[in-house]
Amino acid sequence: DVKVTQSSRYLVKRTGEKVFLECVQDMDHENMFWYRQDPGLGLRLIYFSYDVKMKEKGDIPEGYSVSREKKERFSLILESASTNQTSMYLCAIRSYGGNQPQHFGDGTRLSIL
Amino acid sequence: GEDVEQSLFLSVREGDSSVINCTYTDSSSTYLYWYKQEPGAGLQLLTYIFSNMDMKQDQRLTVLLNKKDKHLSLRIADTQTGDSAIYFCAESSDYGGSQGNLIFGKGTKLSVKP
């Protein structure tokens, strides 16, 4: 079974804080993705990575950065959290090659107060 | 750019069949996917279909693809209350590319009434 683990299911932080969301996989997959999910807007891609130390901007990278120092871990960083970053954050992984599906973690519901 | 459209809500009675529809714009789509999201959880891959197929069946699930009309549907036979969830359609348009980005619809919320 594919296992994608997000470090927290629920997280509450304050405006201006630096926030780290962690995603860990045990499948040795090359590609990792961060999305946010908001009612009425569906899933929006923030950043993705196709190898260690590689990163690419998705559709809405503003206010976020990422880190991939090891293959199994992909971190999403909110440099200075704002209330409009309150959302559900989903991590996904995918094996390289062909049109392999993405597999998702359980999500982190982040509230910024 | 590419777009994937779904209706937002569907309500059915337990035991009936559910049909969730999806349209997409990218004619180069190679794989199309259906994901299920239960409340408070991530997305779970249900099934996927390659664009050179027109039908795929997996137990209670039937996927139909009309490539000419760019229309995809998911039929759930004998719908149960446990099928209540949000269903996402997604398409992959990079030909076996390394990145595997998907374009998602906004999701269809299926409500199953007892």
pLDDT digits (tens, 9 = 90+) for B39-76: 888 999 999 998 888 999 999 999 999 999 999 999 99
User: Across the interface, do A31 and B100 touch by the CB < 8 Å criterion?
Assistant: yes
Contact A104 B105 (CB under 8 A): no
Q: What are the residues of chain B with a beta carbon less than 8 Å away from any beta carbon of chain A? A: 30-31, 33, 35, 40-45, 48, 50, 88, 92, 96, 98-102, 104-107
Among B41, B101, B104, select the one facing A42 at the smallest CB separation: B104
pLDDT of residue B90: 92
Minimum Cα–Cα distance from B102: chain A residue: A102
What percent of chain B stands above pLDDT 90? 70
Q: Which of B106, B37, B41, B87 is nearest to A108 (CA)?
A: B41
- The sign of the dihedral angle between the CA atoms of B25, A43, B21, A99 is positive
**Are the beta carbons of B98 and A31 separated by less than 8 Å?**
yes
Task: Tell me the pLDDT tens digit for each residue of A1-17.
Answer: 778 999 899 999 999 99
The DSSP annotation for A61-85 comes to -TTEEEEEEETTEEEEEESS--GGG
CA nearest A89 in B: which residue?
B42
**Count of positions (residues) in chain B:** 114
Q: Mean per-residue pLDDT for A85-90?
A: 97
Four-residue CA torsion sign, B20, B107, B42, A53: positive
Interchain proximity B99–A40, CB inside 8 Å:
no
Distance CA A71, CA A25 (A): 9
Q: Is the predicted pLDDT of residue B93 greater than 70, yes or no?
A: no
